[in-house]
């Protein structure tokens, strides 16, 4: 289960953490509460303090160096708390930059940009699957595909074969 900065406008990280914890106690499978597209170090800290078991920091709108600095701050705290930390490198992931980004930040998973978009697609998305394969060759942590709503089952399956370990669907739900 995940929340985003826009979800939190309608509640607090503490409220969502309490709801999920109550429902997770009844579940027969492990339940994770993830902050998706965390917009700041402060929000990521609030989420981890409230009991989130996974966080994402999205500095993809920052320049490369600032994204690394902000992401590393979150990843360092998350590592100390044994919480996975996902990040997004940029809006068109370069394989060598992705490698450097992962090495310098210490994140545990990386959302890659290969032609997907959040929300509903206006036309048919064109995925750069070769880019995904190139990223997989040089990055050794789990890769994440955001914006999977509206992709064909075949595209999702092919991306998984090429190294995607987590697929995010939201709009379609």
Q: Which of 104, 45, 54 has the alpha carbon at shortest distance from 84?
A: 54
Q: First vs last Cα of the chain: how many Å apart?
A: 12
Active-site option among 36, 58, 90, 155? 36
Q: Which of 102, 44, 110 has the alpha carbon at shortest distance from 74?
A: 44
Buried/exposed code over 124-160 (b: 16+ C-beta within 10 A; e: otherwise): ebebbeebbebbbeebebebbbbbbbbbeeebbeebe
Cα-Cα-Cα-Cα dihedral sign, residues 20, 36, 100, 64:
negative
Catalytic (active site) residue 36? yes
Dist. CA 106–CA 157, nearest whole Å? 27
Q: 49 — phi, psi (to 5°)?
A: -65, -35
DSSP 108: S
Catalytic residue ranges: 36
């Amino acid at each position: 289960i995940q929340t985003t900065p826009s979800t939190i406008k309608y509640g607090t990280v503490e409220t969502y953490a309490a709801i999920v914890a109550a429902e997770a106690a009844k579940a027969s499978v492990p339940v994770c509460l993830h902050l998706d597209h965390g917009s700041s170090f402060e929000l990521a800290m609030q989420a981890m303090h409230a009991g989130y078991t996974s966080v994402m920091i999205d500095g993809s709108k920052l320049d490369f160096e600032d994204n690394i600095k902000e992401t590393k701050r979150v990843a360092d705290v998350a590592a100390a708390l044994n919480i996975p930390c996902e990040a997004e490198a940029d809006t068109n992931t370069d394989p060598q930059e992705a490698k450097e980004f992962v090495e310098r930040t210490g994140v545990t998973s990386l959302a890659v940009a290969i032609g997907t978009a959040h929300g509903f697609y206006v036309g048919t998305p064109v995925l750069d699957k070769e880019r995904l394969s190139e990223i997989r060759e040089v990055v050794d942590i789990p890769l994440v595909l955001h914006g999977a709503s509206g992709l064909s089952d075949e595209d999702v399956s092919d991306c998984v074969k090429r190294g995607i370990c987590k697929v995010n669907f939201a709009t379609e739900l």
